[in-house]
């Protein structure tokens, strides 16, 4: 699967980060004793499998999944020569199981099973030797290698899938080990040992018992700079885990989870190991894709003064259109078609009628194009000017729309040099201009009230102000009026915050905070969104964050009677972007790139709500 994101030029760097859009291969391992490959992704995938001879290889392509690192070649031994994992193209990860020379398998006996939409196994029968009469027969005109498709399996589990061992998992939040019995965090011992090209990190766990299926097992990890993990139970009440990691990997730490297991994390958070390569990487896999004779879509462009979106192919195409009334997104499905690589798309400027354009190779012969309108724009019907072209009508509902300028109701007042801090308030009689949307962004705390203070002295005010300022900037760029309750580090009372929004007759109020928990519970991480009364705004923002940001834990959308929620006279939401006291969240909230991703997601959620309500 190939994804091509054609975003509004300014927002391509401000509103979305491309790597977040594709799924990732979280982990894989080959279980030699069961002739089985196991792998997990962080988003739904439908694998494509084929058998390629000379030498015999089972090739598994994962459309829409990226590896995010160098190719890996793991030597297996016996009848299986190796397992290779690499990036086949920009948005497809390829796994290759290569048999030893002289061996083959019956492709009808290879079982590709979906345990869930993100967990799969590839089960092989016992490889058989190729007979001498087949390998030695002279053939003056050898046939080229052919690809025999393996049977595709449904996403629902098969009867045997319930027996799958899930006691060790590589997740987007670190490594997780299920335990039969766990000890105390204070008793965990960690020891680093340096090797020539790698190092090992050994965890000794008094009072801990491993599941029987893990004892004396070494499992491949191939993520976060970790090549494998070894499980041992030297005593009934003592377990030992050994990670083999990259030589430049930071230290690792472990803590027991309330879910009944052990969490392993690098010091400094997962961002510290995202670019590390596990020991013993290999060269890139080079396997030619199967050619397809379907027409190729090569160009998408805006024409006729931005009133028409044209989709051009090098052969006859047909399309079916449908619209999502909630978001205004128009979806075009084009069967029997392929995407060019690269595809040429329109240059979408600041005042473009198209807010977002997503082009996807949904399966081997279907292209899906999703077009999302800017504010004040709707789409007409899908037409076909000729056999090779599709046309989507673009309608502006504000033909005399003025250019976007700075928000006249946004008040910028620096904190006073001396004397007590004071709230900022709009001039008397300030109201929302008719036909415009006014959003109040409320960065919590400030001045004499720094909010929560977390690990390493990270203060809540230092996290939420840059997020809030960027949310404001992004909304303004989309023609939304924004008022901030404060735009620097000074104190504003709770009463002053909602009084400001109520007096200005704002349409939307969003308060931004960072969370904290006491008792040294650094294992508590995650984001949550609160509301009072109507939850639609909170849900829109929360959905956008889940869609666009990798968070440690989804703590959900919750009802609350926070003062700023219950006293605001308009739809309101309070976003807790993470825990400054949490090991994972703290490391991420320190990162300006992560804070920017959070800001983009919050801004997108507000825009989603505006479109949903037709404001």
Closest C-alpha to 207, from 169, 240, 167: 240
- Report how far residue 537's alpha carbon sits from residue 559's, in angstroms, rounded to the nearest whole number: 12
Stated as kind and residue range, the H or E segment containing 362 is strand 354-363
Question: Tokens 């400054």 sit at which residue?
Answer: 580
Count the Cβ atoms, other than its own, within 10 Å of residue 507.
20
- Residues in the chain, total: 615
Asked if 479 contacts 375 with a C-beta cutoff of 8 angstroms, the reply is yes
Q: What is the 3-state secondary structure (H, E, C) of 113-162?
A: EEEECCEEEEECCCCEECCHHHHHCCCCCCCCCCCEECCCCCCCCCHHHH
Number of alpha carbons in the 13 Å side-chain half-sphere of residue 529: 22
Q: Can you tell me the distance from the alpha carbon of 247 to that of 199, in angstroms, rounded to the nearest whole number?
A: 5
Report helix, strand or coil for 401: coil
Q: Are 390 and 382 in contact (CB under 8 A)?
A: yes
**For strand 438-443 and strand 508-515, is the pairing parallel, antiparallel, or unpaired?**
parallel
Contact 359, 369 (CB under 8 A): yes
Q: Are strands 554-559 and 226-235 parallel, antiparallel or unpaired?
A: unpaired
| Nearest Cα to Cα of residue 577 among 532, 521, 510 | 510
Residue 166 three-state SS: coil
The verdict on whether 576 is a catalytic residue reads yes
Burial 252-264 (b: 16+ CB within 10 A, else e): bbbebeeeebbbb
Active-site choice (470, 481, 528, 576): 576
Using CA atoms, how far apart are residues 225 and 81, in angstroms rounded to an integer?
24
CB 235 within 8 Å of CB 258:
no
Which residue's structure tokens are 């194009």? 369
Label residue 132 exposed, middle or buried (CB < 10 Å: 0-12, 13-18, 19+).
exposed
Query: Other C-beta atoms within 10 Å of 5: how many?
Result: 15
3-state secondary structure 517-532: CCCCCCCCCCEEEEEC
Q: Which residues of 349-366 are buried (b: 16+ CB within 10 A; e: fewer)?
A: eeebbbbbbbbbbeeeee
CA atoms within 13 A on the CB side of 395: 9
47 secondary structure, DSSP code:
-
Annotated catalytic residues are 576
């Amino acid at each position: 699967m190939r994804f091509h994101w054609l975003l509004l030029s300014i927002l391509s760097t401000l509103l979305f980060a491309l790597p977040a859009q594709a799924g990732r291969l979280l982990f894989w391992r080959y279980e030699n004793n069961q002739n089985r490959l196991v792998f997990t992704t962080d988003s739904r995938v439908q694998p494509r499998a084929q058998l390629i001879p000379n030498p015999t290889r089972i090739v598994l392509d994962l459309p829409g999944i990226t590896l995010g690192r160098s190719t890996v070649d793991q030597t297996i031994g016996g009848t299986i020569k190796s397992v290779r994992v690499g990036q086949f193209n920009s948005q497809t990860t390829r796994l290759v199981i290569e048999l030893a020379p002289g061996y083959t398998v019956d492709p009808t006996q290879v079982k590709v099973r979906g345990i869930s939409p993100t967990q799969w196994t590839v089960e092989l029968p016992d490889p058989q030797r190729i007979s001498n009469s087949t390998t030695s027969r002279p053939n003056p005109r050898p046939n080229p290698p052919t690809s025999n498709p393996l049977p595709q399996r449904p996403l629902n589990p098969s009867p045997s899938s319930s027996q799958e061992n899930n006691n060790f998992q590589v997740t987007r939040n670190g490594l997780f080990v299920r335990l039969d019995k766990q000890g105390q965090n204070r008793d965990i011992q960690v020891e680093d040992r340096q090797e020539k090209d790698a190092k090992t990190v050994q965890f000794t766990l008094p009072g801990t018992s491993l599941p029987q299926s893990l004892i004396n097992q070494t499992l491949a990890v191939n993520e976060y700079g970790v090549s494998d993990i070894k499980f041992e139970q030297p005593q009934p009440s003592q377990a030992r885990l050994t990670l083999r990691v990259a030589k430049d990997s930071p230290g690792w730490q472990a803590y027991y989870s309330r879910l009944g297991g052990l969490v392993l994390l690098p010091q400094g958070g997962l961002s510290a190991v995202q670019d590390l390569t596990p020991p013993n990487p290999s060269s890139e896999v080079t396997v030619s894709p199967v050619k397809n004779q379907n027409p190729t879509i090569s160009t998408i462009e805006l024409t006729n003064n931005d009133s028409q979106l044209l989709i051009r192919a090098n052969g006859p195409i047909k399309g079916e259109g449908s619209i999502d009334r909630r978001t205004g997104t128009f979806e075009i499905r084009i069967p029997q078609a392929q995407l060019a690589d690269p595809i040429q798309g329109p240059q979408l400027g600041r005042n473009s009628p198209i807010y977002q354009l997503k082009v996807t190779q949904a399966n081997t012969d279907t292209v899906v194009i999703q077009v999302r309108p800017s504010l004040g724009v709707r789409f007409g019907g899908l037409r076909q000017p000729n056999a090779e072209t599709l046309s989507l009508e673009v309608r502006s509902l504000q033909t005399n729309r003025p250019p976007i300028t700075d928000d006249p109701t946004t008040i910028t007042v620096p904190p006073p040099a001396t004397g007590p801090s004071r709230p900022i308030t709009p001039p008397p009689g300030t109201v929302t201009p008719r036909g415009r949307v006014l959003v109040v962004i409320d960065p919590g705390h400030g001045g004499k009230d720094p909010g929560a203070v977390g690990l390493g002295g990270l203060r809540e005010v230092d996290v939420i102000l840059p997020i809030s300022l960027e949310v404001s900037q992004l909304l303004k760029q989309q023609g939304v009026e924004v008022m901030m309750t404060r735009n620097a580090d000074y104190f504003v009372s709770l009463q002053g915050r909602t009084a400001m929004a109520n007096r200005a007759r704002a349409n939307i109020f969003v308060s931004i905070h960072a969370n904290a928990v006491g008792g040294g519970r650094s294992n508590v991480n995650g984001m949550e969104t609160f509301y009072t009364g109507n939850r639609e705004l909170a849900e829109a923002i929360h959905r956008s964050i889940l869609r666009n940001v990798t968070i440690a834990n989804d703590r959900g959308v919750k009802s609350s009677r926070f003062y700023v929620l219950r006293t605001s006279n308009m739809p309101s939401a309070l976003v807790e972007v993470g825990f400054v006291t949490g090991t994972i969240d703290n490391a991420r909230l320190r990162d300006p790139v992560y804070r920017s991703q959070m800001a983009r997601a919050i801004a997108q959620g507000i825009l989603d709500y505006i479109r949903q309500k037709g404001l």
